Amino acid sequence: MVSDKCYYAYHLHVRDSPQPPLFYGGKLFQQFIVDAWANCEQRRLNWTRIHQHTLRSELYQRLQDAAVHDRHDGEDVRILECKLILPFSHVESPRFMTQLFQDAMAICKHFHKPDLFLTMTANPKWPEILHSLFPGQTATDCPDIVSQVFEQKKKALLKLIDNGFFGTTIAHIHTIEFQKRDLPHIHLLIFLHSQDCIRDPHYINSMISAQLPDPQLQPLLYAKVTKYMLHGPCGANNPQAKCMVNGKCSKHFSKEYRERTDWAENSYPLYARPDNGLVFEHNGARFTNQYVVPHCPQLLLLFNCHINVEISAGLGTVKYLSKYIYKGPNRATMEISGYHKWPLLICD
């Protein structure tokens, strides 16, 4: 007997023979993949519903509270009987993310706070992706190729870090998320050995930059910074930008000009952003050092994609960063009126 996952994997595998029309379906092909995933996920949920007795769901706290307080209200009892429990082994469930967060806290307790916070997003123009596409396809038509190439880039990044790019690495934690435009990105927390911990603003400046490079002295770096590492336009230049919340940029751009890098208590450092007259103009918007996302120039040149690197300056960032990388998927709230046939799935 072949499982649903193996069946779809067989049909989605690219072969040397002429490819079936399925791979040229564009958005219809993506819809087929989404439906296939929903089918496999529903199978997993059905297994959870049928095997509640093996999960010992009656031992969970809310069911125990109902028994202890002897609640006999008809509606409450009916709802409790319909509720099912998702175990922590169900990927992306709240229990699953909570367990990962607790593991991250244990790592911080054993070592110390993370020293670096890195975010890298896939580039759909990577040559490895473009060379693997069929004629007429774009990267959005083949999310499997994008994911496979990104996985290799992620391994190369982790190998580089483990080999001492930032110093002696004693631990790292990472999660991979997928944006709504199909591009995966990695959130990575890096723990350095005490002898390589970042304490000097001059050392920060040698590793992290938040400035536009000189287009005459560093033309290649300038091209990549202006392509991948500029935030905006937002604010008065673009009030409808996605980052705008209540009339302000949620990422706190534009930043203030600053001649030198300073430490900030329980936050990221205040990176040097001198008012040196360098300006990049694109589609009528003007970008200065106030709009540059902090990055490592060497990694930007090496991986050719958006790769944000931040210094974790204070202890107050430990819990925030760990919760941020384990925040889980997007969720929607809906209300079902009337009697529902299927049990509710909950995670306490």
**Helix, strand, coil share of the chain (percent; to 5):** 40, 15, 45
Give the per-residue pLDDT at 114: 83
Give the per-residue pLDDT at 159: 94
For residue 287, what are its two tokens? Answer: 């970008």
CA dist., res. 291 & res. 251, Å (int)? 10
Distances (CA, A) of 113 to 160, 194, 199, 202: 21, 11, 13, 21
Give the per-residue pLDDT at 346: 46
Query: Pairing state of beta strands 184-192 and 116-121?
Result: antiparallel
Is the separation of the CB atoms in 285 and 241 below 8 Å?
A: no
> What is the residue type of 172?
H
Facing residues of 286 across strands? 281
Query: Helix, strand or coil for residue 69?
Result: coil
Give the per-residue pLDDT at 65: 54
Give the per-residue pLDDT at 154: 94
CA dist., res. 252 & res. 245, Å (int)? 10
Distances (CA, A) of 7 to 11, 13, 32: 7, 10, 13
Is the separation of the CB atoms in 208 and 295 below 8 Å?
A: yes
Give the per-residue pLDDT at 303: 94
Query: Helix, strand or coil for residue 296?
Result: coil
- The CA R_g of the chain, rounded to the nearest whole Å, is 24
Residue partners of 312: CB distance under 8 A and separation at least 6: 113, 114, 115, 116, 117, 189, 268, 318, 321
Buried b / exposed e along 122-158 (16+ C-beta atoms within 10 A): bbbebeebeebeeeebebebbbebbeebbeebbeebb
CA distance from start to end of the chain? 35
Peptide bond into 94 cis (omega under 30): no
As averages over each run of 10 residues, the pLDDT of the chain (348 residues) reads 85 76 80 88 83 63 53 50 68 76 79 86 93 84 87 94 90 82 84 81 86 93 94 81 84 87 75 90 87 93 93 64 64 58 47
